[in-house]
Amino acid sequence: MRSLYFLIALAGIITVSSCRNDFETTPSTGNLEFSRDTIFLDTVFTNIGSSTYNLKVYNRSDEAISIPSVRLGRGQDSDYRLNVDGVAGKEFEEVEILANDSIFVFVETTLDINEVGNASDEFLYTDAIEFNSVGTSQNVELVTLVKDAIFLFPERDGATGMVETLTVNNVETTLEGRYLMDDELTFTNDKPYVIYGYMAVGDPDGTTAKTLTIEAGARVHFHADSGLLIADNATLAINGALSADPIALENEVIFESDRLEPAFSNVPGQWGTILLTDGSVNNTINYTTIKNATVGILNEASPNASGASLTLTNTQIYNASAVGLLNRFTSVEASNTVINNCGQFSMLVQLGGIYNFTHCTFANYWTQSFRDTPAVFLDNTLQTQETLLVGDLAQANFTNCIVYGNQGEEIGFNQDNDATFNFKFTNSQIRFDDVFGDFIGEPLYDFTNVNLYQDIIRSEDPDFLLPTENMLQVGENTAGNGFGLQSAANAVPTDIIGTNRTLAPDIGAYESIIFPE
């Protein structure tokens, strides 16, 4: 019986709430207030939808009002879309706001530069939201910068809707993507590139030697779950150059997502990775910034007897949601390389390999979630679903390097005694606090062993500028001021921004500076 009474009462509540009388309103006379007078929808690529932006419209009067007309200035021809108080459209009549209340207006757009632009690669598209009241009109301006781009994407089967997937070394994968054609193997700086899926270099059976060349100043943007794949016998050659403006980075090559709004500028994990497969050869990356990927570079290129499988110079990797630089049984020569703000490891070695890092800064100031992994981790194993693989870590040399972060221990090791495990830190700075003495007696963490650690600064402040914002320049109070090994500095005579370091070299990728007040 109580259940019956409850259901009757609930039905009454629903009936009353759904039969609310409309409130009485008076026509608006134009005394509306707005949360902003102009909505900048930031930059979008042609044919890619913007984020949704909001405007709050206030009725400060003591009476409920009705706005006779709310519309886009271009009317139904506008490329903006509105949602006014929960209703989608481009023109609205008798929009009501209670006394001393407000409503939300949401705005978004998708623009085709070929329809709204001109011969330029950029076009400023504008409109306005018009609030027409009795005898007056109030406007809120809308502004969007539209950029043209070169779009690279896999084909979609018109009959089935299935997206083309990659075959690598004659093995079909589930990766959506395709191989770049010969006339697509040079990325210039004329227009940005926007990539959907994985663009691969080479051919499905891995027999053709091809090179993707990326010129200085090129901008490459990746959609979600997209990236580059360098297949067998193929090569990646990124030829960035030193920039005069450290903010604009006009000559650097920049890899990031296709979301250009400021809110996405430092969001990790927006795209996939640059994958160097085990058969790729002689990959070079110079003056490049790689940001907001899942894994910045996944390097599986087999060790090259004639030189490094990957040569990495003057490169920055930031905001990888997993790993900045992940190496599996490969060979790397890196100098003036900076990695920071990664969800797991800034630099991870698995299954051994051959590595030489000179004047590199491996930092990790990740704050997006809990991290219990060190900035740098060396491992000569790799656990697969079937078995544990073991490989020789022939050498891993860190010279004039900084390894630091916001955790107490920023280096780590996993050694299988059935394979070689050689590493050495020379004239380098390492954060390793071990406040509880957990690593006492562990031979790999014996900082008195000069065969592993020679001239080490341990757990002293590197004096980074703003490490949580990926500004890893060091100040004059850095512990590594003048501490660098001279012979290594002579081999890399300028730092990542072109400053001479041959006189009393500092450690890390940057020479120290006096920070502005």
pLDDT digits (tens, 9 = 90+) for 50-93: 999 999 999 999 999 999 999 999 999 999 999 999 999 999 99
Of the two residues 135 and 175, the one the predictor is more confident about is 175
In the chain, % of residues over pLDDT 90: 84
Helix (H) or strand (E) holding 6: helix 2-18
Whether the CB-CB separation of 352 and 380 falls below 8 Å is answered with: yes
Rounded Cα distance between 188 and 480, Å, is 39
| SS3 letters across 20-54 | CCCCCCEECCCCCEECCCEEEEEEEECCCCCCCEE
- For the beta carbon of residue 451, count every other beta carbon within 10 angstroms: 9
The mean pLDDT of 36-43, rounded to a whole number, is 91
Say yes or no to pLDDT of 9 above 70: no
Confidence label for 197 from pLDDT (cuts 50, 70 and 90): very high
Read off φ and ψ for residue 158, nearest 5 degrees.
-65, -30
**pLDDT the model gives residue 118:** 63
For residue 273, what are the CA distances in angstroms to 290, 302, 307, 469?
Answer: 9, 18, 24, 22
pLDDT confidence of 376, banded at 50, 70, 90? very high
CB 35 within 8 A of CB 5: no
Provide the pLDDT for residue 22.
53
How does 234-257 read in b/e, with b if 16+ C-beta sit within 10 Å?
bbbbbbbebbeeeeebebbbbbbb
Q: Which of 181-185, 203-207, 302-306, 375-379 has the lowest mean pLDDT?
A: 302-306
Mean pLDDT of 126-143: 94
pLDDT at 131 over 70: yes
* Residue 190 CB neighbour total at 10 angstroms: 12
Is it the case that residue 506 has pLDDT exceeding 90?
Answer: yes
Does this model's pTM top 0.95? My answer is no
User: CB neighbours (10 Å) of residue 123?
Assistant: 18
Confidence bin at 119 (pLDDT 50/70/90): low
Residue of 434, 442, 429 lying closest to 407 (CA atoms): 434
Quick check: 359 pLDDT over 80?
yes
Check pLDDT > 60 for residue 513: yes
Q: pLDDT tens digits for 206-255?
A: 999 999 999 999 999 999 999 999 999 999 999 999 999 988 899 999 99
- Residues whose CB is less than 8 angstroms from the CB of residue 65 and which lie 6 or more positions away in sequence, other chains included: 25, 26, 27, 28, 59, 96, 97, 99
pLDDT for residue 157: 82
Residue 115 has a pLDDT of 83
